[in-house]
């Protein structure tokens, strides 16, 4: 399928995958089986929004193409109602049952424009984020709603028609690994982070991206979050339009399929999905949409439980192991080794999944350590972006020139 267009029928088939067209008439128990666990329930859950999004998309499709019937709309809407009625559980409850501690933003707060350092805010169990990752996600929820108002799905679909073609992200990683016999580099264009503050004042994203390419990076990761990382979709678009050949990962906190369309329209070839935030059903749903758009998903895990959940999902090509605990900021590269030991490592090798070691990599011995543990790619930000010449920084990090 063309990566840049999404036909009504392909959208319908996704909808069928997540919510059987017969759900409204099937016996209740069976409906529970055919409809994924957190699929359409609770407050502000992605899956609930995914289906509403699908319904809206199909309605607008029908408006765009009068005469073409939209047979799934009613059954999806029924599914939403049936699931809400049957389960009576919130998305947070479903997520918690999978070990996810990050909650979705409650409808009552926090105030959208609150300010001040995280630790000084009034603590209130219900409407105050418990850690930085939760705060980022709650903020993203508000931000995505606002962006959707400014740029509708119909507008995004139009933009997709002019989006640059998708490049082979996984192919570029494999080729680099085979060429250098070292982990392929995904070099991150990252101005700032919540854990480290501003990493580079004279930040020119296109210049940094070209230096990375020159230094031998296989792919690039571009932070698009504004509030916490001082990134932007404009940076992603500028890098893509500057003729950089390395495939691009849109490094964003994805909680809604709208963001996938946005990333693709700006020229992304891959996106990040964070298992600490997304229940299984959302990962499955989002990866299906990625496939339709031609995007590859880098699914990020931090611990054994998340790794086991992701290994339970079919069709995953890329798994990132983040050595940074996103709740506490602690970095420990032995996390990579821990998660690749024993049966997990075997399953990964058998299935040909590429593992990306992420965060906290500064020296050739760090690279050797994660390679020994089994990674075929690394994602590196801070240690490269801080170098006056990031291209030379790559040779320093790998202990040799990997550009040839
Ligand atoms: O980097 C952070 O402080 C951070 C905080 C909260 C959520 C995510 C965060 N980082 C995203 C990343 O995973 C890193 O940017 C990436 O792995 C590169 O890490 P590094 O080489 O240590 O800059």
- The predicted pLDDT at position 138 comes to 93
Pull the structure tokens for residue 230: 């001082």
Helix H, strand E, coil C: the string for 82-127 is HHHHHHCCCHHHHHHHCCCCCCCCCCCCCCCCCCCCHHHCCCCCCC
| Nearest protein CA to atom 10 of ligand 1, as residue | 193
Report which of 207, 171, 167 is spatially closest to residue 187, judged by C-alpha positions: 207
| Nearest protein CA to atom 3 of ligand 1, as residue | 195
| Nearest protein CA to atom 6 of ligand 1, as residue | 326
The model carries a pTM of 0.79
Mutational test site, ligand 1, from 359, 366, 370, max ligand atoms within 8 Å of CB: 359
303 pLDDT band, cuts 50/70/90, is very high
- Which atom in ligand 1 lies closest to the alpha carbon of residue 382? 23
The mean per-residue pLDDT over the stretch 25-44 comes to 31
283 pLDDT band, cuts 50/70/90, is very high
The pLDDT tens digits for 224-264 are 999 999 999 999 999 999 999 999 999 999 999 999 999 99
21 alpha carbon to ligand 1 midpoint, in Å? 41
- Which atom in ligand 1 lies closest to the alpha carbon of residue 380? 21
Average pLDDT over the chain, rounded to an integer:
81
Mutational test site, ligand 1, from 253, 328, 381, 385, max ligand atoms within 8 Å of CB: 381
**Measured CA distances, 166 to 110, 112, 247, 314 (Å):** 38, 35, 8, 22
CB-based pocket (< 6 A), ligand 1: 132-133, 188, 190, 193-195, 322, 324, 326, 329, 358-361, 379-383
Tell me the angle at which helices 304-311 and 280-293 cross, rounded to the nearest 10 degrees.
50
The pLDDT tens digits for 366-398 are 999 999 999 999 999 999 999 999 999 999 999
265 alpha carbon to ligand 1 midpoint, in Å? 24
**Measured CA distances, 396 to 1, 62, 163, 376, 393 (Å):** 41, 56, 35, 19, 5
273 alpha carbon to ligand 1 midpoint, in Å? 14
- Which atom in ligand 1 lies closest to the alpha carbon of residue 384? 21
DSSP string, 311-352: HTSTT--EEEEE-B-TTT--B-THHHHHHTSHHHHHHHHHTT
| Nearest protein CA to atom 8 of ligand 1, as residue | 326
- The predicted pLDDT at position 28 comes to 29
379 alpha carbon to ligand 1 midpoint, in Å? 9
Give the gyration radius of the chain's Cα atoms: 21
- Which atom in ligand 1 lies closest to the alpha carbon of residue 194? 3
91 alpha carbon to ligand 1 midpoint, in Å? 26
Pull the structure tokens for residue 371: 């390679």
- The predicted pLDDT at position 173 comes to 98
The pLDDT tens digits for 213-223 are 999 999 999 99
The pLDDT tens digits for 193-205 are 999 999 999 999 9
383 alpha carbon to ligand 1 midpoint, in Å? 11
193 alpha carbon to ligand 1 midpoint, in Å? 7
107 alpha carbon to ligand 1 midpoint, in Å? 28
Lowest mean pLDDT among 64-73, 75-84, 132-141, 157-166: 64-73
| Nearest protein CA to atom 16 of ligand 1, as residue | 359
Return d(Cα 113, Cα 130) in angstroms, integer.
17
362 alpha carbon to ligand 1 midpoint, in Å? 13
403 alpha carbon to ligand 1 midpoint, in Å? 24
Asked if 335 contacts 276 with a C-beta cutoff of 8 angstroms, the reply is no
ipTM of the complex: 0.98
């Amino acid at each position: 399928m063309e990566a840049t267009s999404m036909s009504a029928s392909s959208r319908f088939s996704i909808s069928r995958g997540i919510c059987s067209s017969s759900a409204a008439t099937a016996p209740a128990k069976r409906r529970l089986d055919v409809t994924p666990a957190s699929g359409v329930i609770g407050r502000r859950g992605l899956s609930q929004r995914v289906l509403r999004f699908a319904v809206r998309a199909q309605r607008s499709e029908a408006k765009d193409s009068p005469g073409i019937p939209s047979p799934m709309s009613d059954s999806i809407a029924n599914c939403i109602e049936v699931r809400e009625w049957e389960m009576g559980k919130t998305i947070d409850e479903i997520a918690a049952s999978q070990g996810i501690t990050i909650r979705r933003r409650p409808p009552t707060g926090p105030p959208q424009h609150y300010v001040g350092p995280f630790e000084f805010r009034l603590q209130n169990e219900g409407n105050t984020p418990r850690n930085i990752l939760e705060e980022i996600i709650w903020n993203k929820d508000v931000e995505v709603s606002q962006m959707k108002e400014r740029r509708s799905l119909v507008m995004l679909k139009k933009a997709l028609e002019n989006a640059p073609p998708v490049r082979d992200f996984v192919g570029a990683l494999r080729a680099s690994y085979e060429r250098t016999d070292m982990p392929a580099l995904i070099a991150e264009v990252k101005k700032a982070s919540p854990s480290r503050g501003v990493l580079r004042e004279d930040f020119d994203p296109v210049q940094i991206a070209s230096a990375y390419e020159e230094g031998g990076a296989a792919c690039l990761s571009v932070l698009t979050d504004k509030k916490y990382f001082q990134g932007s979709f404009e940076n992603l678009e500028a890098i893509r339009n500057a003729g950089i050949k390395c495939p691009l990962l849109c490094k964003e906190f994805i909680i809604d399929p709208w963001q996938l369309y946005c990333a693709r329209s700006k020229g992304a070839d891959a996106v990040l999905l964070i298992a600490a935030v997304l229940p299984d059903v959302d990962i499955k749903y989002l990866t299906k949409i990625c496939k339709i758009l031609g995007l590859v998903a880098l699914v990020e895990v931090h611990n054994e439980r998340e790794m086991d959940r992701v290994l339970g999902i079919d069709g995953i090509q890329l798994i990132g192991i983040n050595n940074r605990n996103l709740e506490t900021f602690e970095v420990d590269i032995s996390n990579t080794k821990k998660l690749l030991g024993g049966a997990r490592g075997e399953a990964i090798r058998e299935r040909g999944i590429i593992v990306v070691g992420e965060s906290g990599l500064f020296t050739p011995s760090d690279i050797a350590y994660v390679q020994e543990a089994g990674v075929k790619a690394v994602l590196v930000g801070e240690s490269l972006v801080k170098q006056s010449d990031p291209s030379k920084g790559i040779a320093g990090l790998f202990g040799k020139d990997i550009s040839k």
